[in-house]
Amino acid sequence: MQHIINFLIKYRNLLLYLVLFSVAMVFTIQSHEYHRTTFIHSTGNVTGEILETRKDIYEYFDLDQQNQYLSEENARLRMRLLALGDTLLGGESTLIFSDSLPYRVIPSRVIKNAYDKLDNFITLDIGSKRGVEPDMGVITSNGLVGIVDVTSADFSRVISILNSEISLNAQIKGTSTIGSLTWDGTDPYTMSLIDVPRLARVKKGDTIITGQQSTTFPADVQIGVVENAVLTDNGSRYDIQVRLFNDMTDLGYVYVIKKRDKEAIQIIDTLQVNE
């Protein structure tokens, strides 16, 4: 105990300086937008490097399973390339725009995945240097993952679909019925499809897909199946429980989607008719 007291006395000036410096930094970051943004990007790069190293260690002990996954994924991608015919495979395994393909697909790896909170985020190992931008969609071969939120040069943060702040346009396959896909923070394997009118044709086992109105994701991407449908709002609307195809607790490799005409569509959507 005496050694601790002696240490505090000997270095009291340095310790006081460090405490005051930390307090000043906190207040500066909280009160100035520029400093806060710079701090987020700087710490994001450092954190990203640490997370990537940790992910590399974990994956070293899981090589067989990952190799099997990649082999299956590559087979599916090659089949799609053959079907598209005029789609080119770039030097960085990026699908390039063609006249018949309105999307660019950028492969990435998940280095951090949260799914046990109310508002969850995911970190990817690619960023703006590979063309990733905010508001791009992220998917796997099994379904939706989330939407890019913040990017640095080499890393990206994604708002997971398991986030209470996100609402996605979704549709019951085989019908024109649409609703909003949301998450209530409980079960990472299910989400809710809300605002579906009572007259909709819906039954257990129906497939839920992305809607035509989405400017972030391609249409008709499979999301999950209807597990249960309950009438709410005095029987006027359905609250539908959707069992996700994607296992959000076990994400490895994902694809960032850039829609070629997204900006043009958003401009048209925001135009107002002059009266």
Confidence of residue 144 (pLDDT cuts 50, 70, 90): very high
Question: What are the structure tokens assigned to 244, written together?
Answer: 């996700």
Residue showing tokens 């499809």: 193
62-90 CB burial, b ≥16 within 10 A, e <16: eeeeeeeeeeebeeebeeeeeeeeebeee
CATH 2.40.10.350 applies to domain 168-244:
yes
262: pLDDT confidence band, cut at 50, 70 and 90? Answer: low
Mean per-residue pLDDT, 105-111:
86
Q: Quick one: pLDDT band at residue 9, thresholds 50, 70, 90?
A: confident
Encode pLDDT of 121-138 as tens digits: 999 989 999 889 999 999
Which DSSP symbol is given to 156? E
* Beta pairing, strands 119-124 & 137-140: unpaired
Write down the residue that tokens 């257990």 correspond to. Answer: 204
| C-alpha dihedral (30, 132, 188, 142), degrees to nearest 10 | 180
pLDDT at 166 over 60: yes
**pLDDT above 80 for 43:** no
Which residue bears the tokens 């809607």?
A: 211
**Average pLDDT rounded to a whole number, residues 242-259:** 89
Question: Would you state the pLDDT for residue 46?
Answer: 57
Please tell me the distance from the alpha carbon of residue 178 to that of residue 105, in angstroms, as a whole number: 26
> What average pLDDT does range 161-175 have in this prediction?
92
Tell me which range, 38-42, 64-68, 71-75, is most confidently predicted by mean pLDDT: 64-68
Give the DSSP per-residue string, 111-144: EEE--SSSEEEEEES--GGGT--TT-EEEETTEE
For the stretch 177-231, pLDDT in tens is 899 999 999 999 999 999 898 888 888 999 999 887 777 888 888 899 999 988 8
19 vs 134, residue with greater confidence: 134
What stretches of 85-211 show up as alpha helix (H) in DSSP? none
Averaged pLDDT for residues 172-180: 90
